Amino acid sequence: MKKSKPIYLDSASTSKVDSRVLGEMTPYFTEYFGNASSNHSYGAKAKDAIDKARIQVSNIINCDSKDITFTSGATESINLGIKGYVEANPEKGNHIITVKTEHKAVLATCEYLETKGYEVTYLDVDENGLLNLEELANSITENTLLICVMYVNNEIGVIQPIKEIGRIARDKNIAFLCDATQAVGKVNVDVEEDCIDMLCFSGHKLNGPKGIGVLYKKSNIVLTALIHGGGQENSLRGGTYNTPLIVGIGKACEIALNEFENTVQALLKRRAELQELYEANDIGQVNFKEVATAPHILSITLKNQEAEEYLLLKRNEFVASTGSACNTALVEISHVLKALEKNDGRTIRISI
Ligand X SMILES: *Cc1c(COP(=O)(O)O)cnc(C)c1O
Q: Which residues contact ligand X (rule: CB under 6 A)?
A: 73-75, 103, 105, 150, 154, 179, 181-182, 202, 204-205, 213
Coil vs helix vs strand at 281: coil
Q: How far apart are CA 120 and CA 117, in angstroms?
A: 10
- Beta bridge partners, 68, equal 216
Q: How far apart are CA 282 and CA 284, in angstroms?
A: 6
Q: How far apart are CA 340 and CA 335, in angstroms?
A: 9
Helix orientation angle between 104-115 and 74-88, rounded to the nearest 10 degrees: 30
* Residue number with CB closer to ligand X (46 or 327): 327
- Please check whether residue 287 is in contact with residue 299, taking contact to mean a CB–CB distance below 8 angstroms: yes
Residue 326 annotated in active site? yes
Q: Long-range contacts of range 259-263, CB-CB < 8 Å, 24 or more positions apart?
A: 260/185, 260/188, 263/185, 263/186
Of 239, 217, 212, give the one whose Cα is nearest residue 227. 239
In terms of phi and psi (left: phi > 0; alpha: psi -120 to 50; beta: otherwise), the region of 60 is alpha
Coil vs helix vs strand at 198: strand
Q: How far apart are CA 248 and CA 241, in angstroms?
A: 13
Of 313, 312, 323, 331, give the one whose Cα is nearest residue 348. 323
Nearest-approach distance from CB 322 to ligand X, in angstroms: 15
Of 199, 201, 238, 197, give the one whose Cα is nearest residue 220. 197
* Residue number with CB closer to ligand X (46 or 236): 236
H/E stretch holding 69 reads strand 68-71
Tell me the catalytic residues.
326
